[in-house]
Amino acid sequence: MEHFAVVQSIIRAGLAGDREALDKQVMRLCERLEKAGESKEVATLHRLRAAARDTQEMVPSRVEMSRGQVSGELLEPGINAPIDRETGARLCSIDFQSGDKRAPVYSGGVLDTVEGLLREWTNESALQAVGVSPTRTLLIYGPPGAGKTVTAHYIARRLNLPLVTARIDGLISSFLGTTARNIANLFDFANRYACVLLLDEFDALAKLRDDPQEIGEIKRVVNTLLQNLDLRKNFGVTIAITNHDRLLDPAVWRRFETQLQLGEPDESARESLIARFLQPIDAPNSTLRVFSYCLAGRTGADIERICTAAKRTLALSGESHDGPGLFHALSSVLARTPHHDHVPARILATDQEAFVSLIANDGALSLKQTEIGEATGYGQSRVSDLKKAKRHLLLMEASHAQ
Ligand SMILES: Nc1ncnc2c1ncn2[C@@H]1O[C@H](COP(=O)(O)OP(=O)(O)OP(=O)(O)O)[C@@H](O)[C@H]1O
Ligand SMILES: [Mg+2]
């Protein structure tokens, strides 16, 4: 049997309950299969990994760190956040992490980066033996809706620490000197308690810099921020988030030990997100692939919005909660959205039969006729007729002409 050695290693790791080794061996098998040109099998394995990730994340993790490893007093509910002395507005919100326990869904090596970072905290002594300490500063950047804020929440939850979130624009005051004092007060608060400090919408600083009237003030603000970020290293974990990485001051950028880029989900991440956001409906695999095909290029937040809208539509339509029901719901959700850059979404929004013809003819998608039937409700002979008629071609030509 081909690849038997890898299969044997997979079984060994599985029997020993070693998830890390198991994952490594599965990746090895994927590489071998990829080399042998078996990309369909590789895709299936990736989907299995993604689905397993979703359920594993429901069980308590061994990587959880005790609060003791970050210094500071215990931050309890009831403790008041610092305020802007001029306006009385709170400088941060405090979150004790009672929300979604699952990890966000990531593409490529992002999960490995996040998990690697968390592992540093459980292996602090190993790091200390070579004279380094765990990563304390992380910059997350990427487009809106990519999962940056949910990632920060996830990290704090895994570290078992409350999350103190400040928005830079909330710290900026129109009163001279107040901004710098707000920043100092915020950091004093975060350093006093064991917590993760999240500086969300960090690019507000960069926007300020573009305003010529603010030059003096922004210099002061950036300097205060840099000083506070440097001092903070001795206390706790700090995460900053920005949409516009290139606008950030290089001096600020350098302060962060790890930079994490989030983007649009790849195919397997899209399917996991769709499966998650369609819950409690258990969509068949073929439906996940059809949804994913239509939603290529969308962010996690878009996918969540579209899946929620599809569930609403389905619930009111009276159709059954299965592949065809979801297919019709997705079609009407897309039809209500004014413009689609992505051709499959545009075709499904206008003509369901043309869409069936499109997926039946798309070799890269490689959906079997039975799977197309399961996902759309069309009988096999109809799928076969639609495939031959190539009805989608007309619509595709119309899209090119636009
Ligand atoms: N990778 C992901 N995994 C799981 N959920 C996601 C992911 N990306 C987006 N979402 C969903 O989309 C919503 C928005 O995500 P989030 O607030 O983290 O985006 P963001 O990158 O911080 O966007 P913005 O720049 O607009 O603040 C979340 O509530 C979450 O449900
Ligand atoms: Mg955000």
- In tens, the pLDDT along 321-378 reads 999 999 999 999 999 987 888 999 999 999 999 999 999 999 899 899 999 999 999 9
Owner of token pair 């013809």: 357
* Closest atom of ligand 1 relative to the 146 alpha carbon: 21
Round to whole Å and give the CA distance between 195 and 161: 5
Determine the Cα–Cα distance for residues 280 and 321; give it in Å rounded to an integer. Answer: 10
Nearest ligand, measured from the Cα of 104:
1
E runs forming strands in 49-113: 93-95
Which value, in Å, is the radius of gyration of the alpha carbons in the chain? 25
Ligand 1 pocket check for 144: Cβ under 6 Å: yes
242 CA distance to ligand 2 middle (Å): 8
Atom of ligand 1 nearest to the CA of 265: 1
How would residue 62 be classed by pLDDT, with cut points 50, 70 and 90? very low
Helices 352-361, 392-401: crossing angle, 10 deg rounding: 100
Q: How far, in Å, from the CA of 154 to the mean position of ligand 2?
A: 13
Q: Are 307 and 274 in contact (CB under 8 A)?
A: yes
* Ligand 1 neighbour 54 (Cβ under 6 A): no
Q: Please state the domain extents for the chain.
A: 4-56, 70-261, 267-401
Helix (H, G, I), strand (E, B) or coil at 102: coil
Whole-model pTM: value is: 0.82
CB 82 within 8 A of CB 39: no
Residue 377 to residues 223, 272, 353, 392, Cα–Cα distance (Å): 62, 23, 11, 18
The model's pLDDT over 130-154, given as tens digits with 9 standing for 90+, comes to: 999 899 999 999 999 999 999 999 9
Ligand nearest to the CA of 199: 2
Q: pLDDT (tens digit, 9 = 90+) per residue, 112-136?
A: 999 999 999 888 888 989 999 899 9
Residue 150 C-alpha to ligand 1 middle, in angstroms? 6
Count of other CB atoms within 10 angstroms of residue 127: 15
Find the 143 Cα to ligand 1 centroid distance in Å: 10
Nearest ligand, CA 151: 1
27 pLDDT higher than 50: yes
- Please indicate whether residue 301, judged by its CB atom, sits closer than 6 Å to ligand 1: yes
Amino acid making up residue 296: A
Q: Are 158 and 111 in contact (CB under 8 A)?
A: no
pLDDT of residue 53: 66
For residue range 282-318, what is the model confidence (pLDDT) as tens digits? Answer: 999 999 999 999 999 999 999 999 999 999 999 999 9
> Is residue 215 predicted with pLDDT exceeding 80?
no
DSSP state of 104: P
Specify the higher pLDDT residue, 380 or 45: 380
274 lines ligand 1 (CB under 6 A): no
User: At residue 402, does pLDDT exceed 70?
Assistant: no
Using pLDDT thresholds of 50, 70 and 90, give the confidence band for residue 68: very low
The pick from 239, 304, 305, 306 for probing ligand 1's pocket by mutation, whose C-beta has the most ligand atoms within 8 angstroms, reads 304
* Ligand 1 centroid – CA 159 distance (Å): 20
> Quick one: pLDDT at residue 93?
94
Query: Model confidence over 163-192: pLDDT tens digits?
Result: 999 987 788 877 768 888 999 999 999 999
- The pLDDT value recorded for residue 251 is 78
Comparing CA positions, the residue from 64, 4, 51 lying closest to residue 28 is 4
Whether residue 21 has pLDDT greater than 90: no
pLDDT at 369: 93
The atom number, within ligand 1, closest to the CA of 140 reads 21
Report which ligand 1 atom has the smallest distance to the Cα of 142.
21
Q: Which ligand 1 atom lies nearest to the CA of residue 243?
A: 25
Please say whether the structural domain 70-261 has been given the CATH code 3.30.70.3340. Answer: no
Is the model's pLDDT at 401 over the cut of 70? no
* Nearest atom within ligand 1 for CA of residue 153: 18
**Are the C-beta atoms of residues 374 and 284 closer than 8 Å to each other?**
yes
**Any bridge partners for residue 261, and if so which?**
141
What's the confidence (pLDDT) of residue 69? 65
